Structure 1
């Protein structure tokens, strides 16, 4: 009940609709997001998720994720501080209310990068975001991308592949996503992403000019 009330409060705030971006690890969400936020640096705000996993090489706390202990994150979840949370490969992931509010307070399009479990949770709320799924061209290509990262153990990689198969099937269900983008050629996928968000982008630009 509290979570639904919170979302009514969020959705009632003035500003553009948030964007829920989902898709399996290795589909290219992070690359597309970076391109989007580089081109539209004063339009989008990234909702930085929390996680209990350790940072990968090159990742920064507070930028890629908020890296916290399991005890601290579980306490936050129990306290109702998170919009959605999930466990994957023994680590907790989640989106805090504060992360979304911080972006919306700046009159920016808030981007939430979450998994299918989080998508289903948000579907039960009144947030009314734009739902976009980024998918790989095939499982073969996805596996190659994940292996090329050299950041996963074989066990972890197999878990990600199994999760990706479920994700790809669920994304095909009618009404789950407003737009599904197959990231085969990066520039084409990026143009599709921009097109899907063009209306909201223009609204924010107009607001910035008028203010």
Structure 2
């Protein structure tokens, strides 16, 4: 059940600190016709943000439901981040990889490093920004989190930025169009488009 290396698809893991713009980058890259990828939908115990839909943005689960799935080994990776559980359901990812699809996991650094242990062929891409102050500005401009949550995200971001060396490719997101072009080029170069 755990043989990930012989599946014909490609697993791409994209991480970055909160506020790095990874979600926007992934969404825009996937709209480009030359990038042929599927996005894995993660599960979480956090509350939906305005406009988010269950099953499209995340599978929103209660804490007990998440814990039950975790105990049954139904997550490729899981972590507690900012006081909530996040995890990647195994089944849909394996099914898409078995069909030869390229699957993008947009997950935090903890999860990415766990995936790399379990699936050594996974390609890890870290979305970065030119400075820590830009990260803080983006988090505050989002206006979706409390001050306590913002401070927790910033503390976590410092640790995440120290892990960049463990990724296959850093991707600078200082100018959005260029960053999207760079991400699409990486995807195509690694068999996920053309």
Tell me which interval the TM-score lies in, with the shorter structure as reference length. Answer: over 0.9
Give the root-mean-square deviation of aligned CA atoms: 1.8
Deviation for aligned residue 1:42: 7.7
Aligned length in residues: 194
User: Is the aligned partner of 1:187 residue 2:187?
Assistant: no
User: Is the aligned partner of 1:50 residue 2:43?
Assistant: yes
**How far apart, CA to CA, are the structure 1 residues paired with 2:148 and 2:159?**
17
**How far apart, CA to CA, are the structure 2 residues paired with 1:113 and 1:19?**
9
Deviation for aligned residue 1:63: 1.1
**How far apart, CA to CA, are the structure 2 residues paired with 1:132 and 1:139?**
19
Match of 1:208 in 2: none
User: Is the aligned partner of 1:78 residue 2:71?
Assistant: yes
Name stretches of at least 5 consecutive residues in structure 2 with no aligned partner.
Answer: none
**Partner-residue secondary structure (3-state), 1:94:** strand
| Aligned pairs (5 A) from 1:1-211 | 6=2, 8=3, 10-15=4-9, 17-40=10-33, 43-171=36-164, 173=165, 176-201=166-191
**Greater CA radius of gyration, 1 or 2?**
1
**How far apart, CA to CA, are the structure 1 residues paired with 2:35 and 2:156?**
34
Relative to structure 1, the CA distance from residue 31 to residue 91 in structure 2 (aligned partners, 3 Å threshold; closer, same or farther) is same
The superposition leaves residues 8-30 of structure 1 with CA deviations (integer Å, 9 ceiling, x where unpaired) of 2x321223x21011111110111
**How far apart, CA to CA, are the structure 1 residues paired with 2:37 and 2:188?**
12
**Partner-residue secondary structure (3-state), 1:167:** helix
The superposition leaves residues 155-176 of structure 1 with CA deviations (integer Å, 9 ceiling, x where unpaired) of 00000011111111111x3xx1
**How far apart, CA to CA, are the structure 2 residues paired with 1:49 and 1:76?**
13
